[in-house]
Amino acid sequence: MEPPGACWYENFTRRRNPFAEQAVITAPGEESFREYVLFIQNGIRLLDKEGELIQTASADGEDMVDAEDTGEKGYNYHSERFANRLAYDNRIWKVFSSRVHGDPSTPVWKGYPGDRVIFRTMMPADKPRNVSLVIHGHLWKEQPDDSLSREIAIRGGISIGNRFDMELKDGASCPGDYLYRSGSFGWDVESGMRGIFRVMKHTFGCRCRQVCGKLLNCMKR
Is 16 within a domain? Answer: yes
Phi-psi region at 132: left, alpha or beta (left = phi > 0; alpha = psi -120 to 50): beta
Is residue 82 predicted with pLDDT exceeding 90? yes
Is 1 within a domain? Answer: no
Burial track 94-103 (b if 16+ CB lie within 10 A, e otherwise): ebbeeeebee
pLDDT value, residue 64: 78
Is 56 within a domain? Answer: yes
pLDDT value, residue 206: 55
Phi-psi region at 29: left, alpha or beta (left = phi > 0; alpha = psi -120 to 50): left
What is the residue range of 147's domain?
A: 7-220
Record the pTM.
0.84
Is 2 within a domain? Answer: no
Q: For residue 124, what are the CA distances in angstroms to 35, 69, 161, 184? A: 19, 17, 5, 19
Is 152 within a domain? Answer: yes
pLDDT digits (tens, 9 = 90+) for 18-52: 888 899 999 998 899 999 999 999 888 888 888 98
Q: Report d(CA 191, CA 186) in Å as an integer.
A: 8
Provide the number of structural domains found in the chain.
1
pLDDT digits (tens, 9 = 90+) for 124-146: 877 778 899 999 999 999 998 89
Q: For residue 88, what are the CA distances in angstroms to 83, 91, 102, 209, 210? A: 9, 9, 11, 40, 40
pLDDT value, residue 125: 75
Q: Provide the CATH number for the domain around residue 59.
A: 2.60.40.420
Is 182 within a domain? Answer: yes
Is 90 within a domain? Answer: yes
Q: Report d(CA 63, CA 28) in Å as an integer.
A: 58
Is 102 within a domain? Answer: yes
